[in-house]
Amino acid sequence: MPLVDCMNKIQNYINGSMVAPKSGQWLDNFEPATGKVYSQVADSNESDVDAAVTAARNAFPAWSKTHATDRAAMLHRIADAIEANLDSLAAAESKDNGKPLWLARSVDIPRCVSNFRFFANLITGVESQSHNSDGMINYTLRNPLGPVACISPWNLPLYLFTWKIAPALAAGNTVIAKPSEVTPMTASMLGELCIEAGLPPGVLNIVQGSGSLTGNAIVSHDDVQAISFTGGTKTGKHIATVTAPKLKKLSLELGGKNPNIIFADCDYELMMETTLRSSFANQGQICLCGSRIYVQRSLYETFRDDFVSRVKQLSVGDPLEPASKQGAIVSQQHFEKILGCIERAKEEGGNVLCGGNAVSLAGRCENGWFIEPTVIEGLANSSESNQQEIFGPVVSIAPFDDADDAIAKANESQYGLSATIWTSNLNVAHRVAAEVESGIVWINCWLARDLRTPFGGMKESGLGREGGMEALRFWTEPKNVCIKF
Ligand code: NAD
């Protein structure tokens, strides 16, 4: 399967074909592990977006009337194609994003397959509502919306892209989708796989380009009926101001600063192993990573010493090496931002217990963007470092006294995406889960996912929920029909 055309140019997938942007404008695309440009991606403008929306509008009548079982069969064919190309997709994801190859192969790409299969299965089992009373029956139709948009970030590129596209298509919508311009490669490969799978032209259109040009053109297009966005809180708020006057349906999955609350009675080894992952998986660039670690005072020093010594063993290296636990940071801009946040933490009185520096590697990765996993203590809960999202391999640790104290510290945040609680006391677990302000709570685990559950954040972490029926509800318009007899 060709990754890009012979000129290393990543094109758009519009109306069933791979096409160059009309303006002829391209952006450089970097390999984070080497710091080198290795391809170029279309920087699409309003007329490319308009072509995608026109294709989606034209494809809508037939696709929306296709029987759910036929749409499901098509989604399964796309899943089959992803599965058959798992190795090349994983290699492309790792190269484009900097994440370890083993991670892309074991988590990112298998999850894309699951996303398509899950919504293919779900749509064939959907029941409609009916309300029966006083000589009348009401029933509810759920119709697809029309051409809709999916916009996703760079941290889990194809994983989050397909998490939005699959339910939108399953529900009978046609889609205009934009991946991050920082990680465009696997989205482009998805376009090629859709051609291979026989998806009718215009049902899915993938428009590449920057947020300011391409993204803006998508969200402000009058014929785009709904937008599902995952990315930064600032961008989400901006999109809300563009779409609100046009009364477009909007789902926002935004930033986080997630608390990890560790009680002294937890299963220590399981907690330690999982906390290493929840802190540093994907170089800490997962919106669900726990970046504020609160540990009950009686366990604090033991935890701190063990944790720091285990973090020091996390090897940072070439994403292609199976031994690399940590890969590269996604871009030079983000690399510099993270190092700046570490400096800021020091200014705020933070004591860097381990890490804190860029890593220089020899050989092919000598110019790559790598940062040591970093643990900081001594920061005030209200400090910028504990309040602003860093989105990198940086966590702060602090002691707490009791459940009330832990809940207060966890909730002192503008964000409310996810929280993790470690305890063997059921009462404490349920109480903290109920009182912590976040859309997702994990007790004695992290990132355990059942795709049927509501997924999303509260406060500045988002608006609305994805996952299972929540996603199908978002991507459809309910219509009540009342019959009196
Ligand atoms: P970002 O907001 O910069 O970009 C996200 C996407 O929006 C990209 O495709 C970008 O091109 C596009 N975009 C940017 N400006 C736009 C505009 N004006 N109009 C339309 N589209 C625009 O975010 P990022 O840096 O790519 O991703 C990191 C952020 O994503 C972090 O804050 C992270 O917490 C968040 N995130 C949240 C979740 C979640 O489920 N809540 C999941 C993953 C990442």
Mean pLDDT of 275-286: 98
Residue 464 in contact with ligand 1 by CB distance below 6 A: no
Token pair recorded at residue 291: 């970046």
* Cα–Cα distance, 485 to 477 (Å, whole number): 26
pLDDT over 60 (residue 415): yes
Q: Which of 31, 253, 372, 466 is catalytic?
A: 253
* Cα–Cα distance, 365 to 32 (Å, whole number): 9
Determine, yes or no, domain membership for 1: no
Determine, yes or no, domain membership for 414: yes
Catalytic site residue 253? yes
43 pLDDT band, cuts 50/70/90, is: very high
Task: Please give the tally of structural domains in the chain.
Answer: 2
pLDDT given for residue 7 in this prediction: 57
pLDDT given for residue 1 in this prediction: 52
Question: Do 182 and 198 share a domain, yes or no?
Answer: yes
Provide CB contacts within 8 A for 181, sequence distance 6+. 27, 41, 43, 208, 209, 210, 211, 214
Determine, yes or no, domain membership for 310: yes
pLDDT over 60 (residue 192): yes
Question: Do 403 and 452 share a domain, yes or no?
Answer: yes
Determine, yes or no, domain membership for 3: no
* Cα–Cα distance, 352 to 283 (Å, whole number): 17
From first CA to last CA, the distance across the chain in angstroms is 60
Determine, yes or no, domain membership for 2: no
pLDDT given for residue 47 in this prediction: 98
* Cα–Cα distance, 141 to 151 (Å, whole number): 27
Question: Do 468 and 401 share a domain, yes or no?
Answer: no
Q: Which amino acid is at 114?
A: S
Determine, yes or no, domain membership for 279: yes
Question: Do 250 and 263 share a domain, yes or no?
Answer: no
Determine, yes or no, domain membership for 314: yes
**175 close to 88: Cβ distance less than 8 angstroms:** no
The label of the residue with tokens 């399967």 reads: 1
Residue 231 in contact with ligand 1 by CB distance below 6 A: yes
Question: Do 345 and 423 share a domain, yes or no?
Answer: yes
Question: Do 269 and 395 share a domain, yes or no?
Answer: yes
Mean pLDDT of 200-219: 98
Question: Do 360 and 267 share a domain, yes or no?
Answer: yes
Mean pLDDT of 224-235: 98
**107 close to 286: Cβ distance less than 8 angstroms:** no
Residue 232 in contact with ligand 1 by CB distance below 6 A: yes
Question: Do 162 and 247 share a domain, yes or no?
Answer: yes
Residue 418 in contact with ligand 1 by CB distance below 6 A: no
* Cα–Cα distance, 256 to 82 (Å, whole number): 30
The label of the residue with tokens 């832990």 reads: 406
Question: Do 341 and 240 share a domain, yes or no?
Answer: no
**Separation of CA 457 and ligand 1 centre (Å):** 14
Catalytic site residue 287? yes
Pocket perturbation via mutation, ligand 1, pick of 44, 107, 151 by most ligand atoms within 8 A of CB: 151
Question: Do 291 and 209 share a domain, yes or no?
Answer: no
253: left (phi over 0), alpha (psi -120 to 50) or beta: beta
455 secondary structure, DSSP code? B
Pocket perturbation via mutation, ligand 1, pick of 41, 151, 214, 235 by most ligand atoms within 8 A of CB: 235
pLDDT over 60 (residue 3): no
Domain residues for 61?
9-254+464-484
Pocket perturbation via mutation, ligand 1, pick of 97, 165, 180, 181 by most ligand atoms within 8 A of CB: 180
Percentage of the chain with pLDDT > 90?
98
**153 close to 160: Cβ distance less than 8 angstroms:** yes
CATH code for position 358 = 3.40.309.10
4 pLDDT band, cuts 50/70/90, is: low
CATH code for position 105 = 3.40.605.10
Question: What SS3 class is residue 328?
Answer: coil
The neighbour count for residue 162, using CB atoms within 10 Å, is 31
**Separation of CA 390 and ligand 1 centre (Å):** 14
pLDDT over 90 (residue 221): yes
pLDDT over 80 (residue 6): no
Question: Do 267 and 208 share a domain, yes or no?
Answer: no
Question: Do 225 and 87 share a domain, yes or no?
Answer: yes
pLDDT given for residue 338 in this prediction: 98
On average, the pLDDT of the chain sits at: 97
Determine, yes or no, domain membership for 280: yes
Report pTM: 0.97
Q: Which of 112, 150, 266, 287 is catalytic?
A: 287
